[in-house]
C-alpha cells in the first residue's frame, strides 16, 4: 500500500478500494498497457488458469496496439481508462488532466477509471466521478520496483490479499521481469486457496 493511501481513503471515500469481503473473489488489475510483448503473456497466463482481470489501459498505447486491446475484450476481461499519457494528477492542472482522460475515452470504452500513481486532486476527482467509477486498490505488491524479486511479489501479494481484494500489477516492460513469473505462481495459489479471479464490472 502506498504511503499516501490512507490519506486518499479519507479524502475520497467514494472511490472503490475493495469489494465485498464475504465473497471469496479476487480482482486482479493490470495498469499501463497494452504492451505488445507483455500483455499477450499476461492474457495467456490468465486463460490457462481460467481467470478474469481488469486492464487499465493508457490511451496512446491502445492507439498503438489496438489488436491487443481487442484481444483483452474478446477474451472476456474488463478494461478501464488510465488516461491518455499517464500524467501525475498532483502535478497537472485540472483542465489538462480531464482533457487527457477524455482523449483516452475516445478509444477506451469504459466507465472505470484509475488515476496513474493513484494520485488525484480533489477538483479532478469531483469532475471525474460524474462520469467514472474510480477504482483504487487494497493490495499493491510493487512489481515495478527493480529492488524486489518475483518471489517477493508473490509473498507480498499472498500475505496481503483477503476476500474482495483489488490487486494492482502492471503489464509493462518495466514490471515484466518480476510480474510475469510472480503471476505464474499467484494464479495457482489463489485457486488452491479457493479464490475466483473476477473482472470488475
Q: Are 40 and 180 in contact (CB under 8 A)?
A: no
Element counts in the chain: helices (H) and strands (E): 8, 7
- Of 32, 35, 170, 171, catalytic: 170
| Cα atoms found within 13 Å of the Cα of residue 108, Cβ hemisphere only | 36
Provide the pLDDT for residue 14: 84
**pLDDT of res. 3:** 58
Q: pLDDT 10s digit of each residue in the chain, 201 long?
A: 555 666 777 777 789 999 999 999 999 999 999 999 999 999 999 999 999 999 999 999 999 999 999 999 999 999 999 999 999 999 999 999 999 999 999 999 999 999 999 999 999 999 999 999 999 999 999 999 999 999 999 999 999 999 999 999 999 999 999 999 999 999 999 999 999 999 999
For cell 479476487, the residue is: 26
DSSP for 108-173, please give it: ---SEE--GGG---HHHHHHHTTT-EEB--SB---TT-TTS-HHHHHHHHHHH--TTBEEEEE-ST
Maximum pairwise Cα distance, the chain: 47
User: What is the pairing mode between strands 54-57 and 78-81?
Assistant: parallel
Domain covering 20-197 assigned CATH 3.10.105.10 in the classification: no
Catalytic residue among 18, 31, 65, 77: 31
- The verdict on whether 65 is a catalytic residue reads no
Find cell 479524502 and name the residue: 11
Separation of CA 74 from chain center? 18
Contacts (Cβ under 8 Å, ≥6 apart) of 27? 19, 53, 54, 164, 165, 166, 167, 197, 198, 199, 200
Domain boundaries defined on the chain: 20-197
Active site residue 31: yes
Nearest-angstrom CA–CA distance, 80 and 96: 19
Amino acid at each position: 500500500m502506498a504511503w499516501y493511501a490512507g490519506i486518499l481513503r479519507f479524502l475520497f471515500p467514494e472511490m472503490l478500494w475493495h469489494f465485498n469481503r464475504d465473497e471469496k473473489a479476487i480482482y486482479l488489475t493490470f495498469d499501463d498497457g497494452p504492451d505488445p510483448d507483455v500483455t499477450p503473456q499476461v492474457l495467456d497466463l490468465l486463460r490457462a488458469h481460467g481467470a478474469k482481470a481488469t486492464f487499465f489501459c493508457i490511451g496512446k498505447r491502445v492507439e498503438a496496439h489496438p489488436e491487443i486491446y481487442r484481444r483483452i475484450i474478446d477474451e472476456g476481461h474488463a478494461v478501464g481508462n488510465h488516461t491518455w499519457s499517464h500524467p501525475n494528477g498532483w502535478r497537472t492542472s485540472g483542465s489538462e488532466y480531464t482533457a487527457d482522460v477524455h482523449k483516452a475515452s475516445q478509444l477506451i470504452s469504459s466507465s472505470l477509471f484509475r488515476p496513474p500513481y493513484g494520485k488525484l486532486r480533489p477538483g479532478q476527482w469531483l469532475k471525474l466521478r460524474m462520469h467514472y467509477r474510480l477504482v483504487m486498490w487494497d493490495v499493491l505488491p510493487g512489481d515495478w520496483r527493480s529492488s524486489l524479486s518475483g518471489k517477493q511479489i508473490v509473498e507480498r501479494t499472498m500475505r496481503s490479499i483477503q476476500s474482495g481484494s483489488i490487486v494492482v500489477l502492471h503489464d509493462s516492460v518495466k514490471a515484466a521481469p518480476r510480474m510475469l513469473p510472480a503471476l505464474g505462481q499467484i494464479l495457482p495459489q489463489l485457486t488452491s486457496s479457493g479464490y475466483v479471479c473476477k473482472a470488475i464490472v
